[in-house]
Structure 1
Amino acid sequence: MPGVPILALTSERLVLRPLVAGDAEALFKIFSDPQVMTYWYTPPWKDISDAHQYIADTQQAMELEAQYVFAIVDKNTDALMGKCMLWHIQPDSRRAEIGFGLGVEFWGKGYIQEAGRLLLDFAFSQLNLNRLEAEIDPENLGSAKALQRLGFQQEGYLPQRWIVDGHMSDSALYGLLRQDFAL
């Protein structure tokens, strides 16, 4: 896994590339939206400095190969649509967690499937991971369906796992093994 070059990943409509400082405004617009953040484990971002700090933190983590955070960018317009990531990487166990966040205007158009397939291929082929996991709020039916379409299976349920802004929520745990991922 060490020494994996961080390159852009491309599909028919998308480019996944590392976040850069110039993404801050678009990223802030997405992650300050309460609708986008409804099921996240953190409240919506309050200030553009949250985006700048997030980008700086992810750039450092990518250099250390501790996590891989990619901007999801429209291939034709170069518009930042959201982000996807591999985090909580456990090299010895060859596993990581996967996550996605997309601006509301891009929901329901198959972008998570397209970005997800790129990210899964990167995780299994380039990073040689064996297992990917995702944790979502079970009320987030859109994410559950997206994960299932990518091949993930629900493997667990943790009641009252998170308290965000005074609201208690459960977690549904999903997993995907390399052997079950089909290109």
Structure 2
Amino acid sequence: MPDFRRISLTTDRLSLRPLQTGDADALLAIFSDPEVMRYWNTPPWSSRQDAIDFIEHSHQALASKEQVILGVYDRHSQQLLGKCLLFAYDVESRRAEIGFGLSRQSWGKGYIQETGQALIRFGFEDLNLNRLEAEIDPANTASGKALERLGFNREGLLRERWIIDSQVSDSGLYGLLRSDWQAPNTIPQER
């Protein structure tokens, strides 16, 4: 199993690597935006300390191999565009949950597809996962379409699962099996 603290994945346009303390201001700018956080199960961040705490948590999670939490950076400018993660990692069952969060300025540019393909490949090839899962607010149709383009299937709905700031929302559940990902001509695999 790889050392999670040294994970570095690249795509044509992006670099996925551990967050650094110097990313706190950029991270806060992204995750304090109510539009970015609209469908999350937590409210928008309100202070620089929220970003620092998240970065520290990400380092602890990588060190303990509990989660893979990486910053998503533009390969050329090194600008932080967001974060991605594999979490709820269950070694015995060989499954994890995948998640993404990008700045509003990064939406609609295909970054989720690049990030997703890199994380999926890492999960199946390097972590030997059998299954990846995703949970989204069904009202977030853009995320649902992005997951489906990555090969995920919508598998279920949990009604009224979350209450955030008195707002009740459902959860759409998506899954991707290793065997589906490996099947020829079914899911695009960037190599």
Q: TM-score range by the shorter chain?
A: over 0.9
8 Å CA contact 1:4–1:126 kept in 2: the answer is: no
Q: Match for 1:107: what amino acid?
A: W
Aligned to 2:37, the other structure's residue is in SS state coil
Q: Which residue of structure 1 aligns with residue 151 of structure 2?
A: 151
Residue 67 (structure 2) pairs with residue 67 (structure 1): yes
Unaligned runs of 5+ in 2: 182-186
Does structure 1 retain, via aligned residues, the 8 Å contact 2:5–2:62? Answer: no
Whether contact under 8 Å (2:2, 2:126) holds in the other structure is: no
1:76 and 2:76 aligned: yes
Letter in 2 for 1:70: L
Residue in 1 that maps onto 2:174: 174
Residues 3, 79 of structure 1: alpha-carbon distance in 2 compared, 3 angstrom cutoff? closer
Q: CA deviation at 1:8?
A: 1.1
Aligned to 2:127: 127
**Aligned residue for 1:35?**
35
Q: Scaled by the length of structure 2, what TM-score is found? A: 0.93
Which SS does the other structure have where 2:108 is aligned?
coil
CA distance in 2, matches of 1:4, 1:76: 24
Letter in 2 for 1:84: C
The one-character-per-residue Cα deviations of 1:2-44 (angstroms, maximum 9, x if unpaired) are: 6556321011100000111111111100000000000000000
* 1:67-113 deviations in Å (ceiling 9; x for gaps): 00010000010000000000000000000000000000010000000
Show the 5 A alignment for 1:50-65.
Answer: 50-65=50-65
**Partners of 1:23 and 1:42 in 2: CA distance:** 20
In structure 2, do the counterparts of structure 1 residues 86 and 45 end up closer, same or farther at CA, with 3 Å as the change threshold? same
- How many residues are treated as equivalent by the alignment? 183
* 1:98 counterpart SS class: strand
- Alignment correspondent of 1:101: 101
Q: How far is the alpha carbon of 1:180 from its aligned partner?
A: 1.1
Percent identity reads 55
Give the AA of the match of 2:108: G
Structure 1 position 44 matched with structure 2 position 36 = no
Q: CA deviation at 1:145?
A: 0.5
3-state DSSP of counterpart to 2:23: helix
1:17 match? 17
- Any conservation in 2 of the 1:2–1:65 contact (CA below 8 Å)? no
Amino acid at match of 2:28: F
Provide the secondary structure at the position in 1 that maps to 2:99.
strand
Amino acid at match of 1:17: R
CA distance in structure 2 between the aligned counterparts of 1:79 and 1:179, rounded to whole angstroms = 35
CA distance in 2, matches of 1:175, 1:74: 28
Instruction: Report Cα offsets for 1:136-164 as digits up to 9, x if no partner.
Output: 00000110011000000000101100000
- What code does the residue aligned with 1:68 have? V
For 1:138, the equivalent position in structure 2 comes to: 138
Within 1, Cα distance between the matches of 2:161 and 2:136? 11
Question: In angstroms, what is the RMSD of aligned CA positions?
Answer: 1.1
Amino acid at match of 1:9: L
